[in-house]
């Protein structure tokens, strides 16, 4: 076949294809007009739809396409619009400290004669951790106790002689004062003796022992650190914009950098009273539960907090469509489809939060979207079956 014949046959095939496409495909007339095709050719290739369902220039029986597309209304599946809250998440890095931590020091000076604990031991409040030499204090306590006993005996004799008028009231009062002074001296001696013991200030775990038996220690000497790790206090800093959202008692979740994959819960313990001007951040202190004593003071944590945000319409991810103008969904109102532009706010696995003119319980199409056009006729799959269902009996 000659080349010019091949060209003519190809053009004829293309022309027939365009005519078939124009008479079948929805929106073909708009596409041809947008391409600059004259209106006369457009009206012949893609006749307009009549109200009765036929083409202009065709009889009622010749109509083959309605507004919803070829073959009748478009069949769609719908899902209702829900309202959901955008969760504003805060992530920060913080440092952990024991809920109580003290460096134990002696009350008195002297030579260390005993160390009764070792590093890592658990101690109870008041338990003796170490002891200083106390011979002098023990002798002083015994002397004070003897003086107190003598004063007690003297007062008893004077009180027995009072009935015989052998002693005056003044002498009895002096004896009472002597007894009171002796009791105070005994208390002072016993306190001095007690302070030769170095006791645990609260329940906790002993750190590394910093002294040895025989060391001469003073009131500034460090014996060991005791940590109460029943809870861990984590300090972290949050951006200024969260200053009005954080509340004391608010829940937090934390993950120790040294123990990835394990999540610990807690709550906000305290909030600083001012913003740091250099970093524009606010210091927050959280109390993290540590019932199994897994966490240690000094660990670093990744802290996460959730804040309730604004409410937005939530749609099924399958309902989202895209065009040159952006994303949109098809809202089904009655038996018509309406194109609604949307702006995606947050994506979740099963729902997408959008900013759009949608209200709760409106329905959007999730399947059968290819044939939808603005104001196109639609038929919701399962709508007839739902309409035929008998109403529920009263009281059921």
**Within a domain: residue 267?**
yes
Strands 74-80 and 378-380: parallel
Lowest-confidence region among 7-21, 115-129, 238-252, 347-361: 7-21
Helix (H/G/I), strand (E/B), else coil: 376? coil
Q: Are residues 146 and 158 in the same domain?
A: yes
**Within a domain: residue 396?**
no
Q: Are residues 217 and 116 in the same domain?
A: yes
Please compute, for residue 139, the number of CA atoms within 13 A of its CA located in the half-sphere on the CB side: 3
Average pLDDT over residues 296-310: 85
User: For residue 20, what pLDDT is reported?
Assistant: 72
Task: Give Cα 33 distance to the centre of its chain.
Answer: 55
Does the pLDDT of residue 23 top 90, yes or no?
no
**Within a domain: residue 151?**
yes
Which of 153 and 49 is assigned the larger pLDDT?
Answer: 153
Mean of pLDDT over the chain: 83
User: For residue 237, what pLDDT is reported?
Assistant: 92
Q: Are residues 117 and 186 in the same domain?
A: no
Q: Are residues 302 and 232 in the same domain?
A: yes
pLDDT in tens, 319-353: 999 988 899 999 999 888 999 999 998 888 788 99
Q: Which of 272, 294, 309 is the last residue of a domain?
A: 309
**Within a domain: residue 53?**
yes
Q: Could you give the number of structural domains in the chain?
A: 5
Q: What CATH number does the domain containing 166 carry?
A: 1.10.287.470
Domain encompassing residue 116: 106-126+202-222
Does the pLDDT of residue 310 top 90, yes or no?
no
Average pLDDT over residues 157-178: 85
User: For residue 24, what pLDDT is reported?
Assistant: 66
Q: What CATH number does the domain containing 279 carry?
A: 2.40.30.170
User: For residue 307, what pLDDT is reported?
Assistant: 78
User: For residue 63, what pLDDT is reported?
Assistant: 40
Lowest-confidence region among 260-269, 333-342, 374-383: 374-383
Q: Are residues 145 and 244 in the same domain?
A: no
Nearest CA to 356 out of 384, 304, 320 is that of: 320
**Within a domain: residue 393?**
no
User: For residue 390, what pLDDT is reported?
Assistant: 47
Q: What percent of the chain has pLDDT over 70?
A: 82
Q: Are residues 249 and 335 in the same domain?
A: no
Q: Whole-structure pTM over 0.75, yes or no?
A: no
Does the pLDDT of residue 180 top 50, yes or no?
yes
Which of 23 and 242 is assigned the larger pLDDT?
Answer: 242
Residues in contact with 347: Cβ distance below 8 Å, sequence separation at least 6, in sequence order: 317, 353
Does the pLDDT of residue 67 top 80, yes or no?
no
Q: How far apart are CA 269 and CA 246, in angstroms?
A: 11
User: For residue 4, what pLDDT is reported?
Assistant: 65
Exposure string for 223-237, b = 16+ CB within 10 A, e = fewer: bbbbbbbebbbbbbe
Q: Are residues 113 and 42 in the same domain?
A: no
Q: Are residues 162 and 214 in the same domain?
A: no
Q: Are residues 182 and 284 in the same domain?
A: no
Nearest CA to 332 out of 26, 70, 81 is that of: 81
User: For residue 36, what pLDDT is reported?
Assistant: 65
Q: Are residues 10 and 32 in the same domain?
A: yes
Reading the block at residue 37, the tokens are 């095709």
Reading the block at residue 346, the tokens are 């947050």
pLDDT in tens, 120-155: 999 999 999 999 999 999 999 999 999 999 999 999
Q: Are residues 259 and 295 in the same domain?
A: yes
**Within a domain: residue 395?**
no
User: For residue 211, what pLDDT is reported?
Assistant: 93
Does the pLDDT of residue 99 top 50, yes or no?
yes
Which H helix or E strand runs over 15?
helix 3-24
Does the pLDDT of residue 312 top 50, yes or no?
yes
**Within a domain: residue 101?**
no
Average pLDDT over residues 113-119: 93
Q: What CATH number does the domain containing 347 carry?
A: 2.40.420.20
User: For residue 32, what pLDDT is reported?
Assistant: 67
Q: What percent of the chain has pLDDT over 90?
A: 48
Q: In degrees to the nearest 10, what's the CA dihedral of 73, 75, 81, 87?
A: -130
**Within a domain: residue 394?**
no
Q: Are residues 354 and 289 in the same domain?
A: no
User: For residue 12, what pLDDT is reported?
Assistant: 77
Average pLDDT over residues 345-372: 89
Helix (H/G/I), strand (E/B), else coil: 256? strand
């Amino acid at each position: 076949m000659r080349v010019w014949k091949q060209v003519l046959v190809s053009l004829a095939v293309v022309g027939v294809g365009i005519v078939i496409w124009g008479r079948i495909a929805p929106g073909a007339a708009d596409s041809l007009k947008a391409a600059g095709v004259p209106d006369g050719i457009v009206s012949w290739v893609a006749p307009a739809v009549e109200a009765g369902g036929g083409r202009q220039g065709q009889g009622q029986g010749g109509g083959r396409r309605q507004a919803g597309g070829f073959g009748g209304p478009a069949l769609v599946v719908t899902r209702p619009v829900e309202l959901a809250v955008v969760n504003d998440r805060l992530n920060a890095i913080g440092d952990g400290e024991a809920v109580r931590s003290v460096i134990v020091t002696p009350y008195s000076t002297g030579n260390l004669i005993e160390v009764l604990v070792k590093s890592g031991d658990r101690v109870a409040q008041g338990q003796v951790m170490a002891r200083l030499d106390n011979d002098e204090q023990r002798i002083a306590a015994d002397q004070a106790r003897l003086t107190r006993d003598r004063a007690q005996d003297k007062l008893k004799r004077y009180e027995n002689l009072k009935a015989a008028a052998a002693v005056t009231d003044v002498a009895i009062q002096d004896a009472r004062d002597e007894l009171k002074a002796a009791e105070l001296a005994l208390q002072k001696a016993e306190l001095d003796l007690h302070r030769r013991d170095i006791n645990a200030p609260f329940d906790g775990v002993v750190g590394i022992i910093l002294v040895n038996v025989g060391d001469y220690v003073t009131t500034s000497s460090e014996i060991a650190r005791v940590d109460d790790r029943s809870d861990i206090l984590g300090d972290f800093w949050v951006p200024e914009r969260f200053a009005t959202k954080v509340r004391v008692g608010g829940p937090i979740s934390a993950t120790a950098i040294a123990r990835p994959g394990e999540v610990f819960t807690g709550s906000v313990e305290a909030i600083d009273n001012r913003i740091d001007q250099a970093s524009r951040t606010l210091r927050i202190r959280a109390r993290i539960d540590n019932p199994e004593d897994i966490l240690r003071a000094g660990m670093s944590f990744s802290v996460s907090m959730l804040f309730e945000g604004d409410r937005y319409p939530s749609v099924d991810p399958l309902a989202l469509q895209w065009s040159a103008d952006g994303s949109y969904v098809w809202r089904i109102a009655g038996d018509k489809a309406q194109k609604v532009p949307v702006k995606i706010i947050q994506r979740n696995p099963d729902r997408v939060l959008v900013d759009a003119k949608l209200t709760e319980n409106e329905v959007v199409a999730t399947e059968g979207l290819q044939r939808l056009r603005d104001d196109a006729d639609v038929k919701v799959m399962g709508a007839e079956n739902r309409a035929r269902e008998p109403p529920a009996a009263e009281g059921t």
